[in-house]
Structure 1
Amino acid sequence: MNKFFYILIFSFLVGSQSFFAQQTIGETIIAKDSVKTSKTVVYDPLRPSKAAFYSAIVPGLGQAYNKRYWKIPIVYGAIGTSLYFYLDNNKKYHRYRDAYKLRLQGLPDQFDYLDDDRLIRAQRFYQRNRDLSLLITAAFYVLNIVDANVDAHLIQFNVSDKLTILPDLQQNDITARPNLGLSLNFKF
């Protein structure tokens, strides 16, 4: 009975110490800004991992979680286009492969105007393009996850209005032509 009591007290102390170590509201941690202002910065340490997890489950869901809705059509366009080319190249590869198999068996095929060497080259061409399309599809899928994770990290980044880069248009005094440049402003 004593061991159980000590384990219970130990777990209560460890749990309460980690509970009271930070001020939490749900899953967000409220921390004072380092410049000693009254402004608080809300930091959710689970936000990037949630966004990445959501994008891994359903592509584009992490972007919706980050409220970057304009990126969802780009994600589906990239993955859908590369998937289309994968399926198209796979269909053509199988069509040429089946024609070559029929030709080896002595049966007529739909590509009777091509010789054996061209059928083999067509197979290799569409097989290489199919594999490349699958690799590109996987790369877009991973890029979707990485984008959701990085975007969730950058949402929490404190961007101040004190630092700005603006386009600047000035007239050249000698030639009276406009000059385009960038203006970097930093307010203290």
Structure 2
Amino acid sequence: MLAKKNIFVFLILLLPFGTYAQKDSLNIKVEKTQITTDLYNPLSPSKAAFYSAIFPGGGQIYNKKYWKAPIVWGAIGASVYYYVTNSNDYDRFRTAFRLRSQGLKDEFTDANGNPTISTSGLENAQRVLRKNRDLSLLTGVLLYVLQIVEASVNAHLLQFDTNDNLTIKPSLTTDPMFQEAPRVGLTFKYSF
């Protein structure tokens, strides 16, 4: 009894929704002796990938998804910023470590000659900054490749069209002969 109730509630919840499928853009339709084809450009994904490879965000602009380009620029710009910052800080600590190893005064030594950062602290800072610099570089490369792939996939998926011919619209119909005991069923109508 509980299972029947759950199935009935599930079917009632499906009533207001329609499900749409994609229309194959390669199909040729014959209508009243006219042959029409949807536009399909097989080079569109290649162009989008090429534009993204030349200029990050170019493929997104080619696909007319203008809002994605600033996201790409911000993501790649952030990884470049962190790479440059970590690289500059690494160079500062590396130079200080080399000067201190030779017995010279470095930027982390105060006017009295007392070090503000220990030698082991300089070594540890170099190790951490090198790791962060390398991770920033890896992140930038991954984001660059990801935006190329995203532009290509988006260009490919933009060529698919949705059509009402492939629609599932559940509906509840009553049988006039059995009004006191309603039946629930599912009907699929399809045509080629």
Q: Same fold (TM over 0.5)?
A: yes
User: Does structure 2 conserve the Cα–Cα contact (< 8 Å) formed by 1:102 and 1:108?
Assistant: yes
AA of the residue aligned to 2:146: L
Q: Check if 1:119 corresponds to 2:122.
A: yes
1:118 CA displacement: 0.8
Deviation by residue 1:26-73 (Cα, 9 ceiling, x = unmatched): xxxxx7626656652211011100110010000111111110101000
**Which structure's relative contact order is higher, taking Cα pairs within 8 Å and 6+ residues apart?**
2
Higher share of residues assigned strand? 1
User: Does structure 2 conserve the Cα–Cα contact (< 8 Å) formed by 1:163 and 1:187?
Assistant: no
User: Does structure 2 conserve the Cα–Cα contact (< 8 Å) formed by 1:75 and 1:144?
Assistant: yes
1:88 CA displacement: 0.5
2:53 corresponds to which of 53, 56, 81? 56
User: Does structure 1 conserve the Cα–Cα contact (< 8 Å) formed by 2:28 and 2:36?
Assistant: no
Cα distance in 2 for residues equivalent to 1:83 and 1:164: 48
1:160 CA displacement: 2.6
Q: What is the alpha-carbon root mean square deviation over aligned residues?
A: 2.2
1:158 CA displacement: 2.1
User: Does structure 2 conserve the Cα–Cα contact (< 8 Å) formed by 1:32 and 1:39?
Assistant: no
Look up the match of 1:22.
Answer: none
Look up the match of 2:156.
Answer: 153
Look up the match of 1:176.
Answer: none
Q: 1:86 to 1:163 in 2, by over 3 A?
A: farther
AA of the residue aligned to 2:121: R
Higher share of residues assigned helix? 1
Look up the match of 1:137.
Answer: 140
Cα distance in 1 for residues equivalent to 2:155 and 2:43: 9
TM-score in terms of structure 2 length? 0.66
AA of the residue aligned to 1:63: Q
Q: 1:164 to 1:54 in 2, by over 3 A?
A: farther
- Aligned ranges for residues 157-168 of structure 1 at < 5 Å? 157-161=160-164, 162-163=166-167
Deviation >6 Å, runs of 4+: none
Please say which structure displays the higher CA radius of gyration: 2
User: Does structure 1 conserve the Cα–Cα contact (< 8 Å) formed by 2:28 and 2:37?
Assistant: no
TM-score in terms of structure 1 length? 0.67
Look up the match of 1:76.
Answer: 73
AA of the residue aligned to 1:93: Y
Number of matched pairs: 138
User: Does structure 1 conserve the Cα–Cα contact (< 8 Å) formed by 2:48 and 2:151?
Assistant: yes
- Percentage identity across paired residues of the two chains: 52
Q: 1:84 to 1:32 in 2, by over 3 A?
A: closer
AA of the residue aligned to 1:48: P
